[in-house]
Structure 1
Amino acid sequence: MSTVGLVVEYNPLHNGHYYHYQQSKKVTGADSAICIMSGNFLQRGEPAVVNKWARAEMALRMGADLVLELPVAYSAQPAEWFAFGAVSALDATGLVDSLCFGSESGDIGWLEAAADVLQDEPAPLRELLQQELKAGVPYPAAYSRAVAQLVPGADESELAKPNNTLGLHYLIALRRLRSGIRPQTITRTKAEYNQTDITDGRIASATALRKLLFEERSLHALRPYAPAVTLDILEREWQAGRAPVDWECFAKPLMLQLMNHTPEQLATFHEVTEGLEHRIRQALTETTAPGEGCVASLLDRLKTKRYTRTKLQRTLLRILLNHTKEELSAEMLGQGVPYLRVLGFRPKGRELLRRMKTTAKVPVVTKVTDTLSPLLAMDIRATSVYALGYETPSPRDWLADYYEPPVVVTD
């Protein structure tokens, strides 16, 4: 049985994701699919609109066979570590034959060539990157410029596109891990990753759909762009007071963290760099009160040409979750995922789990204990914080990692 690996967030799952799933099975010829899915907090430093079990159910009802959680240590990172964590998880299953990702270019050749040059992070790359950063260029653009100067034929504008960037880092991760997983890419069509407007009758980005959801406060507007099962699950979670969740749901606990730490203490948190702790403290004097767009107001006051909104969201998230630089060091992250947390499976996924008893390179977790790994303990705490975004969270909600079994879909 051949297996394709997909790295996903499904925030929420929409028609474009379903197309990617179908095409991935087609181009790889895979019999089964394993999804590595971000948990409750995502790569751009945002909370998921609905919790990880609900989104895992969306994936399984779409057809995915097994859903594994990408630990929060990796899920809210810049492209390099996000990709490395996800690929290390796919590789650790011992079952995944291929990885299929979406890209703006749809051409894996130039990405492979760039990955060959960049896999060992050559010294000239670091030097070029530092030059761009010192000039005040945001990190994503600085990285694209540095790579374009170093890799023959590389196009800076193509490198700067988010799915191309992630794809490049998937390929670099495969090389660093010496993985035998074969990469494939398919072209992202009709909606760009960060596109906030809708220009097609059936396909829209998750960013646009979340914007529509929070503006309209209704699921009806999403119907043309998402499978019926997505809407059913969102409706169920909404009625239960567990959705939709956004940054403003965490304004009070975030403010507590920011006000309860000195600048020197803030500087110990992951992603707080280059004196950003002082800028945060200053911005607090001009931020609106919780309930009045507090987090958005803070981000507006923090944003500069150097600090992108995504970088700042990741910074605030690490402060909210109490994640320090020491806990998320490059040395620790470079070891890859230390366990595979099962969020859900279908019948074929049950068979994959049976095979993973002998093929997996790390423990496979279906029943949680916070003593297994410091990273799993971080996931458990992140779930507790995420539950604060619910209308009336219960102890079961904030301890859900202990109570919730994997989602099982049989139809």
Structure 2
Amino acid sequence: MKTVGIIVEYNPLHNGHVYHFEQSKLVSGTDTVVAVMSGSFLQRGEPAIVCKWARTEMALRMGADLVLELPVAYSTQPAEWFAYGAISALEATGVVDAFCFGSESGDLELLRSAARRLHEADNREAPDHADMTAGSLTGLAPSFQDAIRSRLKSGLSYPSAYAAAAGRLLAEESEEDWLAKPNNTLGLHYLLALERLHGTMRPYTIQRQKADYNQTDISDERIASATALRKLLSGEADTEAVRPFVPAYTRRILQREWEAGRAPVSWASFYAPLFARLAVTSPSEMAEFGEVTEGLEHRIARCLHEVQPSAGEPFEQLMQALKTKRYTRTKLQRMMTRILLNHRKIDLSPDLLRGGVPYLRVLGFTAAGQALLKAMRKTASVPVVTKAASFRHPFLDMDIRSATVHASAYRQPSKAELFRDYYEPPVRLADEV
């Protein structure tokens, strides 16, 4: 039995995800699928629109056999650490033969060649320590770090600075164009992580179809980005608006969560607790949180006074006040996520992250997935966790707390919902589903 790994968020799962899933199995020639999925908070620094168990069910109903949670220590990181954590999780299972990711280019050799050359540059200069000041670097060559910093000083955002520095290092002017695309960038980092981890999985890529990763408008009758779908769902009393763009099971699950008062969850749901934390935290204390860099703690203090809650959407007001050409919205949202969840730099140091995922948390499985789990008991290089209450690790504690914070946004959260990690077994679907 051959297995392909995919790295997902499913926020929510839509028709484009189904295409990627089906193509992943096809191009890799595999029988089963392991999905590594972000939990309660996601890579762009956003809370998931519905809980991780609902999104796990979507994945299983689509056909995934086993869903593992990417720890929040990695899931809300910039592309490099996000990819590193996800690839380390797939490698740690010992049962995944290949992995497949979406990209704008669809050109695996282009991405792989770039990853190898970047890795070779790392090895040539052999940096002793990673540098977190320029985007949580896992071990880039000092000359590359310097090139990124110089571009940051010129006012570029980190993604733009990285693309420009990489383009120069790769000595191809055309590199910058494709490196500026978010899925290409993420794919490059998946492949770079594979090199750094000396991974054995075979990589594949599928070209993204019809809707860009963060496209907010809809230009196709069946395919729309998750960003556009969340925009459609914002403020809606039901889920009818997304019917053409998602599988029937996704809409049923979303509607169930809506009716139960567990959705939609967004940053607007957390402004009150976030404001309270920002208001009582001094700049020196603020600087200890992850992603608070380059004096942003002082900018936060100034911009907080510009927000007028009575004018509506206070979180959006804060984001607009904080945003500059240098600081992208994604960077600022990740920073707010770290502050909301009390994640300090010392808890997310490069030395801790470089070790890869320290456990494999099982969120759900099918009958075929259960067979994979049985095999993983022998092959996995880290503990396989099916009961959160039976295992302790600082990263797992972060996962549990982040799920509690997420559930606090529900209309009337129960004790069981707030502490669901302790009560909920993995989602299990029968063969006929």
Same fold (TM over 0.5): yes
Deviation per residue, 1:220-268 (Å, 9 max, x gap): 1101100000000001111111011100001111011101210110000
Are 1:61 and 2:51 an aligned pair? Answer: no
C-alpha displacement of 1:117: 1.5
Match for residue 33 of structure 1? 33
**Is the Cα contact below 8 Å between 1:124 and 1:150 reproduced in 2?**
no
C-alpha displacement of 1:309: 0.3
Which secondary structure does the structure 1 equivalent of 2:289 belong to?
Answer: coil
In structure 2, the CA distance between the partners of 1:370 and 1:326, relative to structure 1 (3 Å rule), is farther
Which secondary structure does the structure 2 equivalent of 1:203 belong to?
Answer: coil
CA distance in 2 between counterparts of 1:389 and 1:21 reads: 31
Which secondary structure does the structure 1 equivalent of 2:305 belong to?
Answer: helix
* Ranges in structure 1 where 5+ consecutive residues have no aligned partner: none
CA distance in 2 between counterparts of 1:208 and 1:186 reads: 21
Q: Which stretch shifts more, 307-316 or 363-372?
A: 363-372
CA distance in 2 between counterparts of 1:254 and 1:69 reads: 25
Match of 1:230 among 233, 250, 254: 250
Match for residue 98 of structure 2? 98
Deviation per residue, 1:24-76 (Å, 9 max, x gap): 00000010000000001000000000000000000000000000000000000
CA distance in 2 between counterparts of 1:112 and 1:290 reads: 51
**Is the Cα contact below 8 Å between 1:238 and 1:244 reproduced in 2?**
yes
Amino acid paired to 2:314 = C
**Is the Cα contact below 8 Å between 1:65 and 1:346 reproduced in 2?**
yes
CA distance in 1 between counterparts of 2:171 and 2:282 reads: 47
CA distance in 2 between counterparts of 1:217 and 1:113 reads: 48
Which secondary structure does the structure 1 equivalent of 2:219 belong to?
Answer: coil
Amino acid paired to 2:341 = L
In structure 2, the CA distance between the partners of 1:100 and 1:239, relative to structure 1 (3 Å rule), is same
Match for residue 183 of structure 1? 203
C-alpha displacement of 1:291: 9.0
**Is the Cα contact below 8 Å between 2:65 and 2:369 reproduced in 1?**
yes
Amino acid paired to 2:262 = R
CA distance in 2 between counterparts of 1:280 and 1:310 reads: 15
C-alpha displacement of 1:123: 2.8
Match for residue 152 of structure 1? 171
C-alpha displacement of 1:141: 0.2
CA distance in 2 between counterparts of 1:190 and 1:70 reads: 27
Amino acid paired to 2:181 = K
Are 1:330 and 2:381 an aligned pair? Answer: no
CA distance in 2 between counterparts of 1:91 and 1:291 reads: 49
Match of 1:133 among 126, 149, 152: 152
Which secondary structure does the structure 2 equivalent of 1:286 belong to?
Answer: coil
Amino acid paired to 2:51 = N
Amino acid paired to 2:154 = A
C-alpha displacement of 1:15: 0.1
C-alpha displacement of 1:371: 5.4
Q: Which stretch shifts more, 212-221 or 107-116?
A: 212-221
Match for residue 268 of structure 2? 248
In structure 2, the CA distance between the partners of 1:368 and 1:290, relative to structure 1 (3 Å rule), is farther
**Is the Cα contact below 8 Å between 2:407 and 2:413 reproduced in 1?**
yes
Which residues in structure 2 correspond to 1:261-340 (within 5 Å)? 261-289=281-309, 292-340=312-360
Are 1:11 and 2:11 an aligned pair? Answer: yes
CA distance in 1 between counterparts of 2:45 and 2:390 reads: 23
**Is the Cα contact below 8 Å between 1:252 and 1:290 reproduced in 2?**
no
Amino acid paired to 2:17 = H
Amino acid paired to 2:184 = N
Amino acid paired to 1:344 = G
CA distance in 2 between counterparts of 1:80 and 1:136 reads: 21
Match for residue 347 of structure 1? 367
C-alpha displacement of 1:124: 2.4
Match for residue 205 of structure 1? 225
Are 1:385 and 2:398 an aligned pair? Answer: no
Match for residue 75 of structure 1? 75
Q: Which stretch shifts more, 121-130 or 392-401?
A: 121-130
* Ranges in structure 2 where 5+ consecutive residues have no aligned partner: 123-139
Q: Which stretch shifts more, 249-258 or 148-157?
A: 148-157
Amino acid paired to 2:327 = Y
Match for residue 142 of structure 1? 161
**Is the Cα contact below 8 Å between 1:248 and 1:290 reproduced in 2?**
no
CA distance in 2 between counterparts of 1:393 and 1:292 reads: 24
CA distance in 2 between counterparts of 1:21 and 1:290 reads: 44
Amino acid paired to 2:190 = Y
CA distance in 2 between counterparts of 1:227 and 1:303 reads: 36
C-alpha displacement of 1:163: 0.1
Percent identity reads 59
Are 1:117 and 2:141 an aligned pair? Answer: no
Amino acid paired to 1:40 = S
Which secondary structure does the structure 2 equivalent of 1:369 belong to?
Answer: helix
Match for residue 52 of structure 2? 52
Which secondary structure does the structure 1 equivalent of 2:101 belong to?
Answer: strand
Which secondary structure does the structure 2 equivalent of 1:185 belong to?
Answer: strand
Match for residue 131 of structure 2? none
Q: Which stretch shifts more, 369-378 or 385-394?
A: 369-378
Which secondary structure does the structure 2 equivalent of 1:326 belong to?
Answer: helix
Amino acid paired to 2:354 = G
